[in-house]
Amino acid sequence: MPMPTPEGWWPLVFGRLSIDALPFYSAIATAAASLVVAGALAVAVLLTWLGRWGWLWREWLTSLDHKRIGIMYVVLSMVMLSRGVIEGSMMRAQQAVAFDNPGYLPPEHFAQLFSTHGSIMIFFMAMPFLTGIINFALPLQLGARDVSFPLLNSISLWLTAGGAGLMMVSLVIGKFSTGGWSGYPPYTDAVFNPGVGPDYWIFAVTLGSLASTMTGINVAVTIYKRRCGGMNPFRMPLFCWTSLCTSILMIFAMPPLTVATALLALDRYVGTHFFTNDGGGNMMNYANLFWLFGHPEVYILILPAFGVYSQVISNFSSKILYGYDALIVATMCIAVLSFTVWVHHFFTMGQGADLNAAFGIATMTIGIPTGVKIFDWILTMFRGRVRFAVPMLYALAFMVLFVVGGLTGILLANPAIDFQVHNSVFLVAHFHNMLIPGLLYGMLAAYTYWFPKAFGFRLDEWWGRVSFGCWVAGFCLAFLPLYPLGLMGMPRRTQEFFEPAYLPFTIVAGVGALFLLAALASLFVQLVVSVRRRQELAVPAGDPWNGRTLEWSIPCPAPEYNFAVLPIVASRDAFHAFKAEGTAYPAHRFYSDIEMPRNSMTGVVIGLSLAAASFGLVWWIWWLAILGVAGAVGALVARSFVRDTTRIVPADEVRRRDEAWLALVRSLPRAGREAEATPANRGLAEPAGI
């Protein structure tokens, strides 16, 4: 019987995977892949050396605690932020030396970078960051013990992690798509690009979009069903309202993206012609599906940050939020109008002037509720006792820079202007002008603001200010010069140019990229310094910012069950009212047993199985794809037979922990606003405010 040849068994086992998939086509790609592999190995070795694998599995990876899931989302986001900022800086550096010069990045590598940068920053930095913040803070603000569907929450996290993992693997094995973050055909169809890059993009984005759809359902049901006693919708903090609108957008906006990627996958794998004009399809169908997701997605990213700014500005102005009802109405208007403007993303693609005019007017209209928010935030600060803590600094920078980006958006809403600057770096400037101050600054403000509630100590103030300064300076230098460049006609996605007038602006943008790298580095330095000073920065009493909402009424870090006794509220800014009444830290409470979800490995197995299945589909390793899908289905079936899904925290344990904390609170000194950033701040603020 003849032995099977390598040509016979290799495709059966490894599909189209070969030695050529390793990133040896460029020294930069090799170095980047080596860094990723070395980093993963270093983490594995460290965990093994410390003997922490079991602890990591029990306490974190399988946890259904909404706070720990939120923290893991943010950790994932920070990892992807690091890659996204580095890749963006590499592109700015390439363009800084690209005048009549091929530079250090070949065209195909440059095209991969702008595709991975956009995909990572939208789907695997921004979405996990805001989802993590919502996961962490929302139940605490609602006076709830958890989200409505803790297991679904875990599955969403691990699907997101699986998609992010595919993005990281694509750096090591194979090449990524060159079709941009939007994945337009024909740049991603099988004829134009038969390689694995578009497939990596399709399956990573699909996993992320499924996760976000499930998150939207979970958040909406939590807000509808898990509010504490007395908290009617118009007593909820603004962050809860923006989270509700965000969740509704996720529910209705993510499915068009999932459909678009599924149909694109069928075009590539089965030979259908949904988006190939010569086969009876229409590429514009893809554009409509993608942007039917894509423009609501902009507000999925922005609305949670609006909620964060509402909380931060009110808190650090020591005032009730001005125009609360108007802010709610503005948020709901933005959510509705976000579905009416998607065609402005392809004004130049051939639809008639009447249609362009209708969508241009709708786009201008959506600026009105955003302007309402800006004025309400300014009026909240008016005559307030404003404290310039790091979260407040991000809020102030946002208001200035976001208005600039919004005004350029009004310009682009005019189809006649859009025709002139379309596909120029003017659009790059506008997009980053909205999302860096709008989304990133908001998430960094939230990270700084709620960090004590997660870990029990504040972040170092001085390094926070350094990082803030670098983020603002870096943004202004890296992206504001792109406005004049766009008006001068410089196309986006330009690897090399031959117009000498562009050069001064690209050099300034390159300097801005250095500041952004410094901002990222100082963010991690701040974390390291804060961990080393954690005893000095500890705020065990739970209220380091003289907070106004319910999450500040419990210890730092928050206990697994959040509230020893579920609160009953009678007004907005409930904790502020409790402090004013002298009932914030009651001496006697009635305690009862608390039911909490047990840990589950289901989410981990489903996420990793579908990531493995996706990797198998990318490389045509069919046995792996089948095994991965079977593993995910098997995990769901096995979970359906599990009956012991909850555990009880006894009332005596709750009483012991809560009374120990209350005794600690009574023993601590109160800290005034002048001591907020000093070691005297132990989390017990002096009641103050309007």
Strand partners, 671: 685
- What is the CB neighbour count within 10 angstroms for residue 436? 24
Q: SS3 sequence, 625-646? A: HHHHHHHHHHHHHHHHCCCCCE
Topology annotation, domain 61-538: Cytochrome C Oxidase; Chain A (1.20.210)
How high is the pLDDT of residue 3?
45
Rounded to the nearest integer, the mean pLDDT of the chain is: 94
273 close to 282: Cβ distance less than 8 angstroms: no
103 backbone φψ class: left, alpha, beta (φ>0; ψ -120 to 50)? left
Q: Which pair of structure tokens corresponds to residue 438? A: 């709008």
Compute φ and ψ for 640, nearest 5 degrees.
-65, -20
In DSSP notation, 556-608 reads SSPPTTS-SS--B-SSSSHHHHHHHHT-SS-S------EEEEPP-SHHHHHHH
- What is the torsion angle, in degrees rounded to the nearest 10, for the CA atoms of residue 475, residue 477, residue 480 and residue 484? -160
pLDDT tens figures, 81-134:
999 999 999 999 999 999 999 999 999 999 999 999 999 999 999 999 999 999
Contact 356, 402 (CB under 8 A): no
Q: By the 8 A CB rule, do 357 and 419 touch? A: no
pLDDT at 1: 38
Closest listed residue to residue 150, CA positions, set 561, 450, 599: 599
Strands 646-649 and 594-597: antiparallel
Give me the residue spans of the domains in the chain. Answer: 61-538
CB 653 within 8 A of CB 668: no
Three-class SS state of 424: strand
In this structure, are residues 513 and 93 in contact, taking their beta carbons and an 8 Å threshold? Answer: yes
CA–CA dist 84, 499 (Å, integer): 28
Using alpha carbons, select from 577, 672, 101, 402 the residue that is nearest to residue 681: 672
Region at 350 (left for phi over 0; alpha for psi -120 to 50; beta for the rest): left
| Residues of the chain predicted below pLDDT 50 | 1-5, 689-690
Instruction: Please tell me the pTM assigned to this model.
Output: 0.96
Looking at residue 539, what is its pLDDT? 96
Q: How far is residue 60 from each of residues 92, 137, 150, 304, measured CA to CA in Å?
A: 37, 18, 14, 25
pLDDT tens-digit readout, 637-667: 999 999 999 999 999 999 999 999 999 999 9
Question: Three-class SS of residue 384?
Answer: coil
Q: Which of 381, 416, 495, 589 is nearest to 106 (CA)?
A: 495
Residue identified by tokens 């964060």 is 308
DSSP 649: E
Residue 547 to residues 287, 322, 689, Cα–Cα distance (Å): 45, 16, 10
